[in-house]
Amino acid sequence: MGSSRLPGKVLMPLAGRPVLDHVFTRVSAAELIDDVVVATSDLPGDNSIEDYCRIRGWACVRGPESDVLSRYAMAVRQSEADIVARVTSDCPLFSPLILDGMLAAFDPETLDYMSTNWPERTYPVGLDCELMSGAKLLDIADTATDPYDREHVTPHFYRNPDRFRLAGYPCARQLSHLSITLDTREDYDRLVMLLGRHPELACPDADVVGIVAEALAG
């Protein structure tokens, strides 16, 4: 809720529902997902997020604002997850189809980390997803000391390719120049426009990549 560029963005209304509602329900729509946990900060300003989760009956963990890695570790321990999917709350049009594709391709016996953005971004900004071994994430949470690694959760994986087994999950087209993330007021206005002109985007089964590529072409 304390975003400096767009305060309160996580609970801003979008097509009749808070942004967080879009993210949670779209992640939950993935067929291969067992559990979803909201991991927010323990700052008083984020009490409203915990309150909303309680109303909706969603699992929620809270931890230090800057040590996001520790929040993920809390979520892993609470859910006993073998595989962890990371989707941030500035992705209200996230596609569960991407998540299911990644989960189908991810084998924790042979991989530790998979990302739509590694080794380079190919999906539109706002369709980001990362998968990782729950056990490896807990190991990193117990040993990583770099503040950057702890704030951004996953860099320890791809900054140490000699220690971890990494894989990318690229888009069929190079669309990294497009953005449907929520970071600024301009981003919010773009999302409102997209959902207004393409209400089918509100459906988790929508071809988000195709619709966005056509809508934002040029």
Among all chains, which residue has been given the structure tokens 């509100």? 202
Q: Is the pLDDT of residue 218 over 80?
A: no
Q: 96: Cβ–Cβ under 8 A, 6 or more apart, which residues? A: 26, 27, 28, 29, 30, 31, 33, 204, 205
CA distance 39 to 50: 9
Q: Three-state DSSP class for 130?
A: strand
pTM: 0.95
User: How far is the C-alpha of 182 from the C-alpha of 19, rounded, in Å?
Assistant: 9
| DSSP assignments along 174-193, one per residue | --TT-B---SSHHHHHHHHH
Domains and CATH numbers, the chain: 9-215 (3.90.550.10)
pLDDT per position as a tens digit, 51-101: 999 999 999 999 999 999 999 999 999 999 999 999 999 999 999 999 999
Q: What pLDDT, in 10s, does the model give residues 96-141?
A: 999 999 999 999 999 999 999 999 999 999 999 999 999 999 999 9
pLDDT at 217: 82
